[in-house]
A and B are shown apart, each in its own frame.
Chain A
């Protein structure tokens, strides 16, 4: 039986869907376009095949997600990942947290930042710049958002430009979306070999 993983981890779990993914061989032209299926790209995850039930939303969501997380300029890749981890922790999306905490560690070589976050969650004590970024993402992610001008001021004092603050806002906000897909349409389970 599939028992969902409940604790934060950097071991990336397998994602087990609650809904039947569409079958790629049955995909309509619109679904194929949204999935960006090409002759050289035929490997599609179950997660994407579940989202393909609604191709019009998927078609815009995927490029939006990729542009926010990986687009050029502005906030660094690592800091965007930290924003994603802050949001995913509030929403307790174990899968998203594992993926983005791993990427953060790979980009920065700072596992201790992630260790603190996993241990103390939203009250984690971090170096000043990481603290400002994490606190902003956490407070933006609650429902309703609790973020205030104090959090923005802390980001400015940590040296973030207005464009970088826009990018951090986007990276946390897009996980307000991604978490709600990932953790309600399926669940994280241990990988089996």
Chain B
């Protein structure tokens, strides 16, 4: 049986890695993770959060988490998306804070994603109300939060697999 998934590719796990034999026992989790990746990056109903914006935000969060390989993965998703724009490419980099001139809606979404990644405990009811006041709908708030949740899960799953693979006892 061949294992293949975004998470294994990013973690650098091949079918010859010793840890692979353990992962066969967690095939269902790898499959559900892969389905989740699709559901938050390329959902059938993206609502107000386009596939291209999702890829840009995922790249931004991967960089904030110090994962260059995962960043490259999401950069490539953004590049392949026909809806990509120069502004979205800038947003993919966390050192860029979009000005409200680029649109208050987009600035509010990016700011929220930064909080979700770096300090989720600081998101209070007034943060959510401020998002709503910028015209971010309730369903889009849930979509953004699920995207941030998934990417932060993926970063940590990958980090653990890499360590396990690098320190393999054979």
Contacts and interface: CB of A to CB of B under 8 A. Distances in A.
Interface residues of A, number: 57
A14 interface: no
Interface size class of B (residues with CB under 8 A): 35 or more
B35 A60 contact: yes
Given A57-B36, A60-B36, A183-B121, A165 B160 contact: yes
B140 to A, nearest CB: 9
Contacts of A133: none
A145 to B, nearest CB: 5
Contacts of B157: 169-170, 173
Interface string B126-170: 011100000000110111011011101111110111011011110
A143 B118 contact: yes
B164 A187 contact: no
Contacts of B148: 180
A54 B32 CA distance: 16
Contacts of A64: 29, 32-33, 36
Given A56-B39, A181-B146, 19 more contacts: A54-B142, A56-B43, A56-B45, A64-B29, A71-B28, A140-B159, A143-B118, A144-B64, A149-B167, A152-B167, A162-B18, A166-B22, A166-B164, A169-B156, A170-B26, A170-B160, A176-B149, A180-B148, A183-B123
Interface of A: 4, 18-20, 50-51, 53-54, 56-61, 63-64, 67-68, 71, 73-74, 91-93, 140-141, 143-145, 147-149, 151-153, 156, 162-163, 165-170, 172-174, 176-181, 183-185, 187
